[in-house]
Amino acid sequence: MGSDFLIKRTPRKDEVQQRRKIGVLIGAAGLFALLTVIFVVSSVRRRASADLETARLETKMALDSIHKAEDEIIQLKKELKATKESKEKDAQLLSAEAQKYKTLAAESAMQGENSQNCSTWVRPGKGQKIAITTAYNGDKYNVMGMLASDTKSKYAAFHNYAHFLDNDLLERKMSFQQKSGSRIAVFRRHWNDYDWLLWTDADVLLTNPEIRLEDVIEEHAPEGSGIHVLMSKDWGGRQVNPGVSMIRTTPEGKEFLDRWEAEIQTARYNDDLLAIKEGMERNKDPVSRESPPFLG
């Protein structure tokens, strides 16, 4: 036989099995690689989908915020427009009020030049005769005093009381003693004509016409009570305020006026009632219902 003669060898059984195992391993490795690729791709797609959904939500929220901001801007513009219109309306009203008060001030100035006493209403029939008095001066009190005096005039007319405007007793510029003394002068002017005299400062408004002065007297200073002076309770630090003072025209009431007039001449402060109280303390005469000034 020649040297080129091939001898074909039949594989052995164990070699065949080994080759099969190798094929299976290669197949398994390929399948694993394929599954891995599928898993990775799927994960990437899920993550991309989640990111896309998040982006969509964020975009929606941003758009909602923009729309809300636009609505707020529109509302703000409406409010600014309404505020501007309201201010313009208020300015027109203030202008009208200012013109009204200018007219009142002019009328008050004319009235002040010729003022004596205003019209008087005397309560007819039985009962106590009562007069309401007031006075005011100076530009800053003209309008206020005129408006307040109008409420007093109508109240007096409603109940048939007398009402006096005693501006002629005032000077344009007055000291504390002069101002306090003018109250006393008003009381003295009308002392012999009425049973009770009510003094009200220029800025006092009578807002409840249903309350009668007779009822106030009956409640706080009935006959025989020994009370001859009524004064309003002060909202501030003092106990009473002479800005609303009611005096019975009796000897005891006159004694109060005399003491008031004497004490304000030496008062350390611009305070009528403090002056009276200090004077009583110096004279060891306490303020009470049993002794002068017979305060209610």
Query: How high is the pLDDT of residue 281?
Result: 53
Shared domain for 121 and 83, answered yes or no, is no
Query: How high is the pLDDT of residue 115?
Result: 40
3-state secondary structure of 102: helix
In a domain, 79, yes or no: yes
Of 145, 135, 179, 168, the C-alpha closest to 272 is 179
Shared domain for 274 and 157, answered yes or no, is yes
Cβ atoms within 10 A of the Cβ of 111, count? 17
The answer to whether 230 touches 216, Cβ cutoff 8 Å, is: yes
Query: How high is the pLDDT of residue 249?
Result: 93
In a domain, 11, yes or no: no
Shared domain for 82 and 140, answered yes or no, is no
Shared domain for 45 and 188, answered yes or no, is no
Shared domain for 167 and 62, answered yes or no, is no
Shared domain for 46 and 188, answered yes or no, is no
Domains identified in the chain, total number: 2
Query: How high is the pLDDT of residue 94?
Result: 64
Based on DSSP, count helices (H) and strands (E) in the chain, helices before strands.
Answer: 6, 5
Measured CA to CA, the distance from residue 133 to residue 113 in angstroms comes to 19
Query: How high is the pLDDT of residue 248?
Result: 93
In a domain, 195, yes or no: yes
Shared domain for 119 and 250, answered yes or no, is yes
In a domain, 109, yes or no: no
Task: Name the residue range of residue 230's domain.
Answer: 115-282
Shared domain for 120 and 36, answered yes or no, is no
Shared domain for 270 and 202, answered yes or no, is yes
In a domain, 218, yes or no: yes
Shared domain for 141 and 35, answered yes or no, is no
Query: How high is the pLDDT of residue 165?
Result: 83
Q: What one-character DSSP code corresponds to residue 295?
A: B
Shared domain for 74 and 215, answered yes or no, is no
Whole-angstrom CA distances from 197 to 33, 138, 151, 164, 226 are: 116, 24, 17, 10, 17
In a domain, 9, yes or no: no
Whole-angstrom CA distances from 238 to 49, 209, 243, 272 are: 81, 27, 12, 11
Q: Going residue by residue through the chain (296 aa), what tens digit of pLDDT does each one get? A: 445 555 555 566 677 777 777 877 787 777 777 778 787 777 777 887 787 788 888 888 888 888 888 888 888 888 888 888 888 887 777 667 656 655 654 554 454 444 444 434 444 434 568 999 888 775 555 677 777 888 888 898 888 899 888 877 766 555 555 666 678 888 999 999 999 999 988 888 888 889 999 999 999 999 888 899 888 776 665 566 778 889 999 999 998 888 888 777 765 555 555 556 555 555 544 444 343 333 44
In a domain, 295, yes or no: no
State the CATH number of the domain containing residue 260: 3.90.550.10
Q: What one-character DSSP code corresponds to residue 224?
A: T
Query: How high is the pLDDT of residue 121?
Result: 41
Query: How high is the pLDDT of residue 125?
Result: 37
Helix H or strand E segment including 162 = strand 162-165
Shared domain for 256 and 129, answered yes or no, is yes
Q: Which residue has the tokens 């002019």?
A: 106
In a domain, 103, yes or no: no
Query: How high is the pLDDT of residue 84?
Result: 85
Residues with Cβ < 8 Å from 291, sequence gap 6 or more? 285
